[in-house]
Structure 1
Amino acid sequence: MLKEDYNVIGVMSGTSLDGVDLVYVNFKVNDGIWSFNCLDKETVSYTKSWVQRLKNLTELSEKDLQQVDCDYTVYLAEIIDEFINKYKLKYIDAVCSHGHTALHQPHNGFTYQIGNKKLLAEKLNQVVVCDFRVQDVSLGGEGAPLVPVGDKLLFNDFDFCVNLGGFANISTKINNERIAYDICPVNIVLNYYVDQLGFAYDNQGKIASSGTVNKTLLEELNNLEFYKKSSPKSLGLEWVKAIFIPIVESYNLQVKDVLSTVCEHVAVQIAMAVNHKKCAKVLITGGGAYNTYLIERLKSMTSQEIVIPKNVIVDFKEAIVFGLLGVLKLRNEINCLSSVTGAKYNHSSGTIFKP
């Protein structure tokens, strides 16, 4: 007999490197209908040294990457353990962790998230559910995005769910089937350029709003081959470094103009993704939801209802959903949709480690 009530810790680290998101969530299921209550939450910022190490994962040798994986697993265990102690958490069915993406090359049948070792379960003395992407890629899928299962089960009131993290990704229903894909890079590029001015991020998009859109660059970005592909499709840091950044660099613009142009590009791509339905509700989450300038540009390009929810959902939706993915894995229920990733079939993805 399966349980109907779960308390789990969801853990998420995104490509924008703003830190580790942790949530303590209660999930309930009643006649197949899921609900959740986020009881405790926290974002732990990365130290400067860890930001530097995580920035350069794509350039490491296999041996060095494995060493970073071990070190990161220990570091992640410390962060989670502090979270457990700080909030005095006693009832934990599992720690459900995404890890941090080091390499993502689904076209080569390969994806690698660090921090997903059995060592995590041993250090925490907890059941750990992790490594959600590898099985999907082995089944011919993109291994991303995985959050749409949560959109289907927890946020079904919205026509579109758009997350503005390192990348913008979207999830929607077409002909009763859930589809999702990465739209374009967002904070992974914006933060890279604003870092050159000594800031971690562009607060409310104020620097971008002071810049001027370079129309030639905008046109070149909008014509990138990736945007012509149909879903399923996903993006990684490798693509940004190899394709996106070199194009931007070739224009030799001031940072404020780069930020302004990239925001315009992001708004154009998201508007194109949501404008094919009439009178739709669009849920916006992720750090980019706080970029007032970007949201204003998006609103100017669409008549859809743009909904920015409570901060807990903006900031922690992905961590909450990875908590749910872990619960579904514990129940051996589908947590990965072939209509989203392109895998051979729906499946229950992830690895369960016991201490």
Structure 2
Amino acid sequence: MKETYHVLGLMSGTSLDGLDMAYCSFWKENGQWGFSLNKATCIEYNPEFQEKLKRAIELSALDLLLLNNEFGQWMGEQAKIFIDRNQLEVDFISSHGHTVFHQIDKRLTYQIGAGQALANAADQKVICDFRTLDVALGGQGAPLVPIGDGLLFSDYDFCLNLGGISNASFRIDGMRTAFDISPANMLLSYILKSTGKTFDDGGVMARSGKIDQPFLNALNALAFYKKPLPKSLGYEWFRDEMMPLIDGSEASVEDQLHTAVHHIAFQISESLKSNAQAGAKMLVTGGGAKNLFLVEMIQHYLGSSIKVVIPETSVIDFKEAIVFAFMGVLRSEGEINCLSSVTGASKSSSSGVIYHPW
């Protein structure tokens, strides 16, 4: 085992805000993993490329494969610029890619960002494709971040990510469990689309609205919320199940946002508070952690059962990229990085495919 790994983690999430790059160091001391986030940035997608990624689900097989190579090449170019500009020593790049398909009922998950194209463009070893092995083993292929929650952020009883989708992880009877809870930023951004805004800064617009009870009832009645664990969400579900409810609502944008925030906070509370012990703390990260109204409503619904903790901005923004960098380290060491207790797979695995530059 190396004394210290220096890894560049890459993450593109369902919120489509850009490519997160986190240059991290990882080490093991007295049997415990430690890390530092040394440098990080987010490369925003231009509107044309953002739309291309958003519409990837509608592409023909040929065009999707072409986009897979194009996106891998682009990520590699961005990584090389970042590495060279900051004169970084990198053992490898660990990339999540960008999810296009996640249809577990069909045993399908697909992330674009071709590993070989990325490795060649960056001139670095690459570890990627962390989900397909778990799906092949009968798992959900998601969420994957809980391995990092357990080994890097063990001071917290719960870890909640508010990205395009909200998901949480925690321990039950000594085993880590995790699952997707509800759409989060994906829902709020879709409601905002008619305004031309991409996000509700601080939740100001949502705070100014009021609850539309029929809309809230319709959201809370969706069958996904009653499904047993393990479970995960993808864009396809949001498109088919939730978009029609939003499009059919006659409430104002402010009222829709206000109602959606209550929906998200309520579902998070319903999913977590029954598993809380006295004095429980929850780390909240992802873009939604900057939505002050959303955070307030989560704490409101949780009451005194769980204390919400918002970390420093760098952890809010780059926790997923940090954890995917760490997953590459575990893959390099042949250690488990995908937990069957989380995904429902037949066994835990050390997942990730390795590519070398040529």
TM above 0.5, yes or no, is: yes
Residues 289-328 of structure 1 mapped to structure 2, 5 A cutoff = 289-302=289-302, 303=304, 304-328=306-330
Note the residue ranges of structure 1 that are not aligned, 5 or more in a row. Answer: none
Structure 1 distance, partners of 2:272, 2:167, is 11
Q: How far did residue 229 of structure 1 move?
A: 1.1
Residue type of the partner of 1:314? I
User: Aligned equivalents of 1:41 and 1:318: distance in 2?
Assistant: 12
In 1, are the aligned partners of 2:135 and 2:345 still within 8 Å (CA)?
yes
- Comparing 75-84 with 138-147, greater Cα deviation is found at 75-84
TM-superposed CA distance for 1:149, in Å, is: 0.2
1:81 is the counterpart of 2:80: yes
Query: Which residue in 1 is equivalent to 2:65?
Result: 66
RMSD: 1.0
Q: 2:187 & 2:138 partners in 1: Cα distance?
A: 28
Residue 183 (structure 1) aligns with: 181
Task: Output aligned runs, 1:136-285, within 5 Å.
Answer: 136-276=134-274, 277-279=276-278, 280-285=280-285
Distance (Å, rounded) in 1 between the aligned partners of 2:266 and 2:212: 14
Q: Which amino acid aligns with 1:203?
A: D
Match of 2:31 in 1: 32
Alignment partner of 1:56: what SS? helix
Secondary structure in structure 2 of the residue aligned to 1:178? strand
Shift of 1:253: 2.2
Q: Within the alignment, does 1:19 sit opposite 2:18 as a pair?
A: yes
Q: How far off is 1:4 after superposition?
A: 2.8
Match of 1:107, SS state, is helix
**Structure 1 counterpart of 2:97:** 99
Count of residues in Structure 1 that have an aligned counterpart in Structure 2: 353
Cα deviations by residue, 1:58-104 (Å, 9 ceiling, x for unpaired): 11111111111111111111211111122111x21110000000111
Contact kept in structure 2, 1:19 and 1:44, CA below 8 Å: yes
User: Distance in 2 between the 1:142 and 1:4 partners?
Assistant: 33
Runs of 4+ with deviation above 6 angstroms = none
How far has the Cα of 1:195 moved from its partner? 2.5
Using the TM superposition, give the Cα deviation of residue 214 of structure 1 relative to its aligned residue in structure 2, in angstroms. Answer: 0.8
Taking the aligned partners of 2:85 and 2:193, their CA distance within structure 1 comes to 31
The answer to whether the Cα contact below 8 Å between 2:95 and 2:128 also exists between their aligned partners in 1 is yes
CA contact (8 A) 1:106 1:142 kept: yes
The Cα shift of 1:106 comes to 1.5
CA distance in 2, matches of 1:83, 1:343: 36
Once the two structures are overlaid, the 10-residue window that deviates more, 126-135 or 111-120, is: 111-120
**Worse-superposed segment, 253-262 or 138-147:** 253-262
Instruction: Assess if the C-alpha contact under 8 Å between 1:57 and 1:103 holds in 2.
Output: no
CA distance in 2, matches of 1:62, 1:87: 38
Q: Aligned residue for 2:331?
A: 329
Residue type of the alignment partner of 2:20: D
Which deviates more from structure 2 when the two are superposed, residues 91-100 or residues 189-198? 189-198
Alpha-carbon contact 1:29-1:35 (below 8 Å) kept: yes
Task: Name the aligned partner's letter for residue 72 of structure 2.
Answer: T
SS of the equivalent of 2:79 reads helix
- Distance in structure 2 (CA, Å) of the matches to 1:148 and 1:175: 16
Deviation at 1:117, TM superposition (A): 2.7
The TM-score, its normalising length taken from structure 2, stands at 0.97
CA distance in 2 between partners of 1:171 and 1:86 (Å) = 36
Kindly, what percent of the aligned residue pairs are identical? 45
Q: Which amino acid aligns with 1:345?
A: K
Deviations 1:298-329 (A, max 9, x none): 11112121100111111110000000000001
Is the 1:12–1:98 contact (alpha carbons within 8 Å) kept by the matching residues of 2? yes
Runs of 5+ consecutive residues of structure 2 not aligned to the other structure: none
Q: Indicate the residue corresponding to 2:288 in structure 1.
A: 288
Q: Give the residue type in structure 2 aligned to 1:341.
A: T
Amino acid at match of 1:77: G
Q: Output the amino acid matched with 1:354.
A: H
Report how far residue 278 of structure 1 moved: 3.0
- Given residue 319 of structure 2, which amino acid in structure 1 is its aligned partner? K
* Cα separation, 2, equivalents of 1:309 and 1:117: 32
The DSSP-based 3-state class of the residue aligned with 2:211 is: coil
Counterpart AA for 2:315: I
**Matches of 2:114 and 2:307, distance apart in 1:** 38
- Code of the residue aligned with 1:329 in structure 2: it is R
Matched letter for residue 101 of structure 1: T
CA deviation after TM superposition for structure 1 residue 200, in Å: 1.5
> What is aligned with 1:46?
45
How far apart, CA to CA, are the structure 2 residues paired with 1:38 and 1:117? 23
Deviation at 1:175, TM superposition (A): 0.2
The alpha-carbon deviation at position 331 of structure 1 amounts to 0.8
Indicate the residue corresponding to 2:344 in structure 1. Answer: 342
Q: How many Å apart are 1:267 and its aligned residue?
A: 0.5
